[in-house]
């Protein structure tokens, strides 16, 4: 499977690696596994610089609906996705815009930028919960 994740419950974070062609089926399986592993509320870093987006704009809307459903059941943590090309950046950016009000999701060109954004997103989320 081209998507592998690890959940760290103590640190309340997930690390995911996506490699090769990523399809809607891969996205659906990943979200199902995250839900099963109780990782959806955690911040997530997805290293996908070696992945290619093999999904359509229609699949992006399907992903939004899946996440909307999970969001009705509980909080969804911020997700940073490191991408390796302009096409993937555009698809993930579109997904992030469509997810506004459901969860925070942003594409990044480097892991360092993604980690910095996740730290800021987690800090601001913690401050708003106080």
Q: Is 56 helix (H, G, I), strand (E, B) or coil?
A: coil
List domains and CATH numbers for the chain: 3-31+39-123 (3.30.750)
Q: What percent of the chain has pLDDT over 90?
A: 82
Position 121 scores a pLDDT of: 83
pTM, entire model: 0.90
Q: What is the rounded distance in angstroms from the CA atom of residue 14 to the CA atom of residue 52?
A: 21
Q: How confident is the model at residue 53 (pLDDT cuts 50, 70, 90)?
A: confident
Position 123 scores a pLDDT of: 62
Give strand pairing partners of 106. Answer: 80
pLDDT in tens, 66-118: 999 999 999 999 999 999 999 889 989 999 999 999 999 999 999 999 999 99
């Amino acid at each position: 499977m081209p998507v592998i994740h690890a959940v760290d419950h103590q640190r309340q974070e997930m690390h995911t690696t996506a490699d090769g062609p990523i399809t809607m089926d891969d996205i659906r399986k990943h979200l199902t596994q995250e839900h099963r592993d109780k990782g959806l509320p955690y911040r997530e870093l997805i290293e996908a610089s070696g992945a290619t987006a093999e999904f359509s704009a229609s699949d992006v809307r399907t992903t939004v609906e899946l996440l909307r459903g999970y969001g009705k059941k509980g909080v969804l943590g911020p997700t940073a996705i490191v991408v390796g090309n302009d096409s993937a950046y555009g698809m993930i950016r579109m997904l992030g815009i469509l997810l506004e009000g459901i969860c925070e999701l942003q594409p990044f060109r480097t892991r360092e930028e993604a980690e910095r954004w996740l730290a800021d997103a987690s800090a601001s989320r913690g401050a708003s919960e106080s």
